[in-house]
Structure 1
Amino acid sequence: MAKEEKAQTEVSIGLEKLWQVMSKPKDLAAIMPEIVPEQVKEVQVIQGDGGVGTVLFTTPWSILPGSSGASYKEKIAELDGTAHVIAFEYVEGGFLDRGFTYFKTTIQLSAKGEGQTLVDVKISYESDIDEESTQRLTKTAVTSALNFLSGLEKRLSDAA
């Protein structure tokens, strides 16, 4: 059974504007290296049309704590425009090479007010490694997701 690590943040970008970027993998792939340049070197959409099943190939920088710098593939496991939910599941490399047998990041957006969005981040995982390493790596994943959201907020604010 999958375990979970959760976090929540608020961004000063309206729900629809944020969802417009989050729900388009090709657009997201193009700007990821700008949003989190210290984490991501390159992202490519290598399969699919942007919907569920679309596969992204990410080349990270090897300077991240605990990172091997190895590329990985994630597929869009969920994309719900009504609930504003997108989920990315690792299918090759990354956390799967670090002792996890399942690893998925789910992001849900909720309108909080004019120009404000509440963002829930959930990491779902199964692991064959010790609890201390598991906790360290899942917390790193949550931090990376929050850094991405902060960078996206800055980019969208600067573009306004």
Structure 2
Amino acid sequence: MRGQQSVETPVGVPATIVWDAYRGLELGRLVDQLLGDVIGKVEVVQGDGGVGTIIKLTFPPGTPGIGYLKEIFTKIDDDNRVKETELIEGGYKDLGFDIFRCRLEIIEKDAKSSIIRSTVEYEIDDTKPELASFVSIKHFELMAETIGKYLTDKKSIK
């Protein structure tokens, strides 16, 4: 069984600025700085932020379920501003998901604004449809809103 969830978050800064924050390791630094107590701590296991980079996200204490996840960057497309990752350990994998992918797209709206489209795609065994109820896009939405606000505030200070 396959499934997908997606959310679009408008941001009041140009797509190039949002992409700079999302494309490599800066996203993990921003999550640590702005959302560490909600989403968790991000560590680089291997790599420099390009394809093949592996990161570990350790959830905050008290978070129900699996305490961490590891994902690998599988695609970074600078022309189309698309970053894709795939879960390789922990998190949804430990719950029984066969595949769990994240796609982050930065879409230019106009010269001064953009949209962050966050999508998760998953595959689970057809005999375990109840697993689909665990999937949520809320953390991606919160991340996009918070980083969007941070970038907007940073722009207005300059």
How high is the TM-score relative to the length of structure 2? 0.87
Q: Structure 1: 5+ residue runs without aligned partners?
A: none
Q: How does 1:96-115 map to 2 (within 5 A)?
A: 96-115=93-112
2:16 aligned partner: 16
Note the C-alpha offset of 1:118.
1.7
- Report 1 or 2 for greater relative contact order, CA contacts < 8 Å, sequence distance ≥ 6: 2
| DSSP-derived class of the 1:40 partner | coil
Q: How does 1:56-71 map to 2 (within 5 A)?
A: 56-64=55-63, 67-71=64-68
Q: 1:120 aligns with which of 113, 117, 126?
A: 117
CA distance in 2, matches of 1:109, 1:69: 29
CA distance in 1, matches of 2:11, 2:18: 9
Q: 2:80 aligns with which of 68, 83, 87?
A: 83
1:52 aligned partner: 51
**Which stretch shows the higher mean deviation, 29-38 or 89-98?**
29-38
**Equivalent residue pairs, number:** 154
Q: Is the 8 A contact 2:11 2:149 kept in 1?
A: no
Could you say what the CA RMSD is over the residues aligned between the two structures, in angstroms?
A: 1.8
Note the C-alpha offset of 1:113.
1.2
1:40 aligned partner: 39
Note the C-alpha offset of 1:6.
2.0
How high is the TM-score relative to the length of structure 1? 0.86
**Which stretch shows the higher mean deviation, 123-132 or 74-83?**
123-132
Q: Structure 2: 5+ residue runs without aligned partners?
A: none
C-alpha offsets along residues 51-105 of structure 1, whole Å, 9 cap, x if unaligned?
Answer: 11100011111444xx325111011111000010001210000110112111011
Q: 1:93 aligns with which of 90, 95, 107?
A: 90
| DSSP-derived class of the 2:98 partner | strand
Identity %: 23
| DSSP-derived class of the 2:150 partner | helix
One-letter code aligned to 1:131: P
2:154 aligned partner: 159
1:131 and 2:134 equivalent?
Answer: no
Q: 1:145 aligns with which of 140, 143, 157?
A: 140
